[in-house]
Amino acid sequence: MDRAILLPALKNIATRLRIDSIRSTSEAGSGHPTSCMSMADLAAALFFAEMRFDPKDPHNPDADRFVLSKGHAAPILYAAWAEAGAFAREELLKLRTIGSDLEGHPTPRLPFVDVATGSLGQGICAAIGTALNARRIRSSYRTYVLLGDGETAEGSVWEAADVGSLDALDNLCGLTDVNGLGQSRATMWSHDMDQFARRWRAFGWHAIVIDGHDMGAILDALAEARATKGQPTMILARTIKGKGVSFVEGKDGWHGKAFKKGEEMDRAIAELEKQFVPVPADGPAANLAAHIEKPAARPHAVESPKPPAPPAYTLGDLVATREAYGTAIAKLGDVDSRIVALDADVKNSTFSDKFEKAHPDRFFENFIAEQVMVGSAMGLAARGAIPFPSTFACFLTRAADFVRMAAISNVNVKLAGSHAGVSIGEDGPSQMALEDLAMFRAEPNYAVVYPCDAVSTERLIAEIAYHPGPAYMRTSRPKTAVIYGNDERFPLGGLKVLRQSANDVATVVGAGVTVFEALAAYDQLKATGTAIRVIDLYSLSPIDRDGLVAAAKATRGTLITVEDHYPVGGVGDAVAAAVADAGVTVHRLAVREIPRSGKPEELLDRFGISAKHIVQQVQEIQGVQ
Amino acid sequence: MDRAILLPALKNIATRLRIDSIRSTSEAGSGHPTSCMSMADLAAALFFAEMRFDPKDPHNPDADRFVLSKGHAAPILYAAWAEAGAFAREELLKLRTIGSDLEGHPTPRLPFVDVATGSLGQGICAAIGTALNARRIRSSYRTYVLLGDGETAEGSVWEAADVGSLDALDNLCGLTDVNGLGQSRATMWSHDMDQFARRWRAFGWHAIVIDGHDMGAILDALAEARATKGQPTMILARTIKGKGVSFVEGKDGWHGKAFKKGEEMDRAIAELEKQFVPVPADGPAANLAAHIEKPAARPHAVESPKPPAPPAYTLGDLVATREAYGTAIAKLGDVDSRIVALDADVKNSTFSDKFEKAHPDRFFENFIAEQVMVGSAMGLAARGAIPFPSTFACFLTRAADFVRMAAISNVNVKLAGSHAGVSIGEDGPSQMALEDLAMFRAEPNYAVVYPCDAVSTERLIAEIAYHPGPAYMRTSRPKTAVIYGNDERFPLGGLKVLRQSANDVATVVGAGVTVFEALAAYDQLKATGTAIRVIDLYSLSPIDRDGLVAAAKATRGTLITVEDHYPVGGVGDAVAAAVADAGVTVHRLAVREIPRSGKPEELLDRFGISAKHIVQQVQEIQGVQ
- Note the pLDDT tens digit of each residue in A127-184: 999 999 999 999 999 999 999 999 999 999 999 999 999 999 999 999 999 999 999 9
* Chain A CB contacts of B188 below 8 Å: 162, 166, 367
In angstroms, the CA B401 to CA B442 distance is 12
The order of strands in the sheet holding A172-178 is: A65-68, A143-148, A172-178, A233-238, A206-211
Hey, are the CB atoms on A153 and B568 less than 8 Å from each other? Answer: no
Radius of gyration for the alpha carbons in chain B, expressed in angstroms and rounded: 28
Mind telling me how many Å the CA of A606 is from chain B's nearest CA? 9
At residue A625, the pLDDT reads 57
The residue count for chain B: 625
CB atoms within 10 A of CB A624: 9
Q: What is the pLDDT of residues B419-458, one digit of tens each?
A: 999 999 999 999 999 999 999 999 999 999 999 999 999 9
Mean pLDDT for B170-187 is 96
Return the SS3 of B213. coil
Confidence of residue A623 (pLDDT cuts 50, 70, 90): confident
β-bridge pairing B471-474 and B414-418? parallel
β-bridge pairing B447-449 and B414-418? unpaired
* Short-list B166, B88, B172, CA closest to B133: B172
At residue A280, the pLDDT reads 86
Q: Does B435 touch chain A (CB under 8 A)?
A: yes
At residue B304, the pLDDT reads 84
At residue B211, the pLDDT reads 98
β-bridge pairing A363-365 and A339-343? parallel
Q: Does A601 touch chain B (CB under 8 A)?
A: no
Mean pLDDT for A371-377 is 98
Q: Half-sphere exposure (CA, 13 Å, Cβ side) for A44? A: 31
Q: Half-sphere exposure (CA, 13 Å, Cβ side) for B270? A: 7
Hey, are the CB atoms on B566 and A395 less than 8 Å from each other? Answer: no
Q: What is the pLDDT of residues B75-116, one digit of tens each?
A: 999 999 999 999 999 999 999 999 999 999 999 999 999 999
Tell me the DSSP string of A548-599: HHHHHHHTTTEEEEE-SS-SSSSHHHHHHHHTGGGT-EEEEE---S---SS-
With a cut of 80, say whether residue B624 has pLDDT above it.
no
* Short-list A63, A42, A369, A480, CA closest to A221: A42
* Short-list B144, B210, B203, B138, CA closest to B172: B144
* Short-list B156, B181, B202, B175, CA closest to B45: B175
Q: What is the pLDDT of residues B585-602, one digit of tens each?
A: 999 999 999 999 999 999
User: What are the E-state strand segments in A124-255?
Assistant: 143-148, 172-178, 206-211, 233-238
- Amino acid (one-letter) located at A478: P
Return the SS3 of A343. strand
The answer, yes or no, to whether the previous bond of B387 is cis (omega within 30 of 0) is: no
Q: Which residues 202-241 of B have a C-beta within 8 angstroms of A?
A: 202-203
At residue A564, the pLDDT reads 98
With a cut of 80, say whether residue B300 has pLDDT above it.
no
* DSSP 8-state class, residue B188: S
At residue B7, the pLDDT reads 96
Mean pLDDT for A358-387 is 98
Mean pLDDT for B564-571 is 98
Of A427, A442, A574, the CB nearest to B105: A427
With a cut of 70, say whether residue B608 has pLDDT above it.
yes
Q: Report the residue of chain A nearest B160, measured CA to CA.
A: A155
With a cut of 90, say whether residue B214 has pLDDT above it.
yes
At residue A85, the pLDDT reads 97
Q: Does B397 touch chain A (CB under 8 A)?
A: yes
Mind telling me how many Å the CA of A485 is from chain B's nearest CA? 33
Active-site residue among A50, A370, A443, A463? A370
At residue B625, the pLDDT reads 57
Mutant choice from A357, A365, A367, A579 vs B, greatest count of B C-beta within 10 A: A367
In angstroms, the CA B428 to CA B523 distance is 30
Mean pLDDT for A440-455 is 98
User: What are the E-state strand segments in A117-205?
Assistant: 143-148, 172-178
In angstroms, the CA B111 to CA B131 distance is 19
Provide the annotated active-site residues of B.
Answer: 370
Q: Does B168 touch chain A (CB under 8 A)?
A: no
Q: How far is CA B29 from the centre of its chain?
A: 30
Mind telling me how many Å the CA of A498 is from chain B's nearest CA? 26
Q: Does B625 touch chain A (CB under 8 A)?
A: no
At residue A624, the pLDDT reads 65
- Amino acid (one-letter) located at B40: A
Q: What angle do CA B323, B325, B329 make, to 5 degrees?
A: 125
Residues B211, B238 contacting (CB under 8 angstroms): yes
Minimum mean pLDDT range among B182-191, B200-209, B301-310: B301-310
Radius of gyration for the alpha carbons in chain A, expressed in angstroms and rounded: 28
- Amino acid (one-letter) located at B316: G
Per the DSSP assignment, residues forming a β-bridge with A386 are A339
Confidence of residue A286 (pLDDT cuts 50, 70, 90): confident
Q: Which residues 408-427 of B have a C-beta within 8 angstroms of A?
A: 408, 410, 425-427
**Which helix (H) or strand (E) is A340 found in, with range?**
strand A339-343
Q: What is the pLDDT of residues A547-585, one digit of tens each?
A: 999 999 999 999 999 999 999 999 999 999 999 999 999
Q: What is the pLDDT of residues B240-256, one digit of tens each?
A: 999 999 999 999 899 99
Confidence of residue A70 (pLDDT cuts 50, 70, 90): very high
Residues A359, A333 contacting (CB under 8 angstroms): yes
A159-191 burial, b at 16+ Cβ within 10 Å, e below that, comes to bbbbbbbbbebbbbbbbbbbbbbbbbbebbbeb
For chain A, percent of residues with pLDDT exceeding 70? 99
Confidence of residue A282 (pLDDT cuts 50, 70, 90): confident
- Mean pLDDT rounded to a whole number for chain B: 97
In angstroms, the CA B482 to CA B493 distance is 21
Hey, are the CB atoms on A98 and B598 less than 8 Å from each other? Answer: yes
With a cut of 80, say whether residue A299 has pLDDT above it.
no
* Short-list B67, B175, B172, CA closest to B122: B67
* Chain A CB contacts of B403 below 8 Å: 397
Mean pLDDT for B150-154 is 97
What Cα–Cα distance (Å) separates residue A524 from each residue in A502, A615, A616?
18, 8, 11
Asked if this assembly's ipTM is beyond 0.90, the reply is yes
With a cut of 70, say whether residue A359 has pLDDT above it.
yes
Q: Does A168 touch chain B (CB under 8 A)?
A: no
